[in-house]
Amino acid sequence: MRTYADRVATVSATTAPKTPTLPDMVTIAAAVLLALVVLDRPWGLALVVTAIAWEVLEKAFWFSRTKGIPIAIGPEAMIGRPVDVITACKPDGTVTLSGERWNARCRGGADVGETVIVEAVERLTLIVTRSRSATA
């Protein structure tokens, strides 16, 4: 059974920025040399400067665009999310969250098919409560 830390490490490894390798750096160096040698004097230099400026502006754009997006991993991201009960929680049962099955504990109890809200996460168990609309 994979632990939460293993799952986070897997997600981090697949979404981490790629470090340039030697073939990547050689390809970039070859492209710069070709631009400077093959094209006429002002155009090769203009192409290289334009490519560098494009990269800097692209990085700045994506950095500013994604700065306000909250991190969507970890137990904190689960709190407050609605989940569906798939085995009755009286008080322990099973729920689905984003297509994954989780063990759940609901003090008030919940029947199959009800939607409950995640209040906390204790190891691999979600602590849930009935949604306000279900209790009203």
pLDDT digits (tens, 9 = 90+) for 20-53: 788 888 888 888 888 888 988 889 888 899 999 9
Q: DSSP secondary structure string, 68-108? A: TSPP--SGGGTTT-EEEEEE-BSSEEEEEETTEEEEEEETT
pLDDT at 19: 76
pTM as predicted:
0.48
- Percent of the chain topping pLDDT 90: 35
Q: How confident is the model at residue 85 (pLDDT cuts 50, 70, 90)?
A: very high
Between the alpha carbon of residue 96 and those of residues 8, 113, 115, the distances in Å are 19, 10, 10
pLDDT at 17: 62
Domain ranges of the chain: 4-66, 75-135
Q: Give the 3-state secondary structure of residue 58.
A: helix
Q: Contact at 8 Å (CB) between 118 and 83?
A: yes
* pLDDT at 10 exceeding the cut of 60: no
* pLDDT at 8 exceeding the cut of 60: no
Q: How confident is the model at residue 67 (pLDDT cuts 50, 70, 90)?
A: confident
pLDDT at 3: 56
Question: 75-135 maps to which CATH number?
Answer: 2.40.50.140
- Percent of the chain topping pLDDT 70: 83
